[in-house]
Structures are given as C-alpha cells and as structure tokens.
Structure 1
Amino acid sequence: MEILVQLDGKPLAASHAYARALAISLFTWRRAEQGDPADGDLQGWWAEGLDAALPAGIGSRLWLLARRRLDADAERDAHDYTREALQWWLDSKQASAVEVTVSRLGDDGLAIRVLITLRSGKTLTADLSDIWSLTHGV
C-alpha cells in the first residue's frame, strides 16, 4: 500500500506534522464498539481511559476490516471508520471540512482518499492506494 499526503498539491514528507497526524488517526487501532465484529478482542490504544485529560477514541476501527470480506457493507464501513477517525480535525477546529471517498479496486482492493480543508484555507489530501491489502496482510 502506498500513502501519498499532499498540502495544496505539494507532497509532504512522512515526518511532517500533518502526515504524522493522519497516520496516527488512521493507523492507530481505535477500541472496538459494542456490536463490532471483534470476537471479544476489542483492541484499542493502550492509553485509552488512562487519564481523563487525554482524548477518547484515538485512531480508527479500520483494523476491523481484516475480519471481513470485501463487499458493499465493508466499503461503507471503511468510509465510516475513516470519517470517524478524522472527526477530531473538526472538533479541535483544525479544519473546516473533512471529506472521505472510498473506491473499490476490482474484486480485492479498496482505496481511500481524504480531503481536509484546513482552517487556513489550505487543502490537505491523503491517498491510500489499497487499504484492503494493508488490513488483510496481502
């Protein structure tokens, strides 16, 4: 899987604060919720609930896709999990808009495109070329 993060169309290094924030948001395992297909293994960020001053719900539930087959429901959940993971950008007023697009790549691939309009008016984009391969270890 390839991840391309850009700010106003210019590629960002993986070490850039925005690229790191996106990576943490999307690839830290958020705790499963009641009703998620987690088979009793709720996962979650190790510091979740440790300190009331820390934000709740760090990361995404994209890891849950590893237990699924690629169908319309998984595609919808990938969208919802991604959107949920990026909600903090809006809540903290770092961004004025967050858009998520999920695209099927044939029978065995799923791409995600994220577009975040920052408060400054600049646009942060992230293209995840095949999240399905990452979650399924392909």
Structure 2
Amino acid sequence: MTDTTTVWDPLNNRGDWQVTGALLETGNDLETAILISLFTDRAAEPSDTIPDGTNDPRGWWADAGADVPIGSRLWLLAREKQTQETLQRAYDYIVEALQWLIDDGVVAKFDVYVEWTRTSMLGAQVVAYQQDGSTKATAYSWAWQGTN
C-alpha cells in the first residue's frame, strides 16, 4: 500500500496533495514522510518558549503520551533572529523530526544541511540514504518571519 503523494509548494510555503485527473496520486512515500515530519507542528517541549506568547504548544492531540510524536519543532523558530544559534536549532529540529525514519528502518541515515540562503530565507537540504544504497536529496526553503 502506498501513501497519498504530498509535494512541497514553495510559492505557498506548504505541502499539498498531488491530483491526477479526479484521483489523488499515490507513491513517493519517502518524500511524503519527510514532508509530514518536517512541516507538521510537533508539540513544544515544556522548556520551549512559544514564539507568539500564547502558551499554545501546538502539536497533534493524538501525540499525547506517544513514544514518537509527529512533526517538527521548526515552528518555534518564528520571530527568532537570523543567527548561527537559530541555524543550529533548525538543524537540531530537522534531525529530531526525521529520526523515526531511521529508527523504523525506512532509511539508513540522513545528511542535513542548513544555511541562511539570503536575508530572511532559511534553506535546508535533506539527503536520505535508503536501505538499498540509493539516495534522495531534497532542498527546502522558508521565508523567514524572524528579525534580522
């Protein structure tokens, strides 16, 4: 069984389902798993500072008590300054979000690269090393809402 294909829509800064005719496309399971892992809001840890001051930890209600929560904490970086520390946190959040794919044997490992591609733009490249030795590299960029 394959998953509904999710593709990254850089113009709207979101993932979206792919449609062929009247049907949802399926396949590209690894890419879909990576997109969901990176761009779904994982619940904040108790020690995290919520950037909008609401104290809303976000996350999916079914993650309560789950061993492996879904998504990433990249959303916590909104309103952060464009610094090396913020870049390191982005890297850490990406690695944390993708770890389940290694733990479940979906991939052997990941290489993750993050950088400020220009003012107000965070870029990341994720290289997935699959169990059969093949690789899948994907680049993502976010319009940064933080301060410069």
Partner of 2:112: 100
Cα distance between partner residues in 1 of 2:27 and 2:75: 23
Higher helix share: 1
Cα distance between partner residues in 2 of 1:86 and 1:97: 9
- How many aligned residue pairs are there? 122
The TM-score normalised by the length of structure 1 is 0.77
Q: 2:87 is aligned with what amino acid?
A: E
Q: Partner of 1:73: helix, strand, or coil?
A: helix
Greater CA radius of gyration, 1 or 2? 2
The TM-score normalised by the length of structure 2 is 0.73
Asked which structure has the greater RCO (Cα within 8 Å, sep 6+), the reply is 1
Partner of 1:8: none
Structure 1 runs not aligned, ≥5 long: 4-12
- The Cα shift of 1:114 comes to 0.3
Matches within 5 A, 1:1-138: 1=10, 16-38=28-50, 39=53, 40-49=55-64, 56-128=68-140, 130-131=141-142, 133=143, 136=145
User: What do the CA deviations read for 1:63-118 (whole angstroms, capped 9, x no partner)?
Assistant: 11113121111111110000100001110011111111001123321100001101
Percent identity, aligned pairs only, is 34
Cα distance between partner residues in 2 of 1:48 and 1:80: 20
Higher strand share: 2
1:114–1:126 Cα contact (<8 Å) kept: yes
- Between 1:86-95 and 1:33-42, the stretch displaced more is 33-42
- RMSD value, Cα: 2.4
User: What do the CA deviations read for 1:30-73 (whole angstroms, capped 9, x no partner)?
Assistant: 01012211142211123212xx6x65221000111113121111
Q: 1:89 is aligned with what amino acid?
A: L
Cα distance between partner residues in 1 of 2:122 and 2:26: 22
Structure 2 runs not aligned, ≥5 long: 1-9, 14-24
Moved over 6 A (4+): none
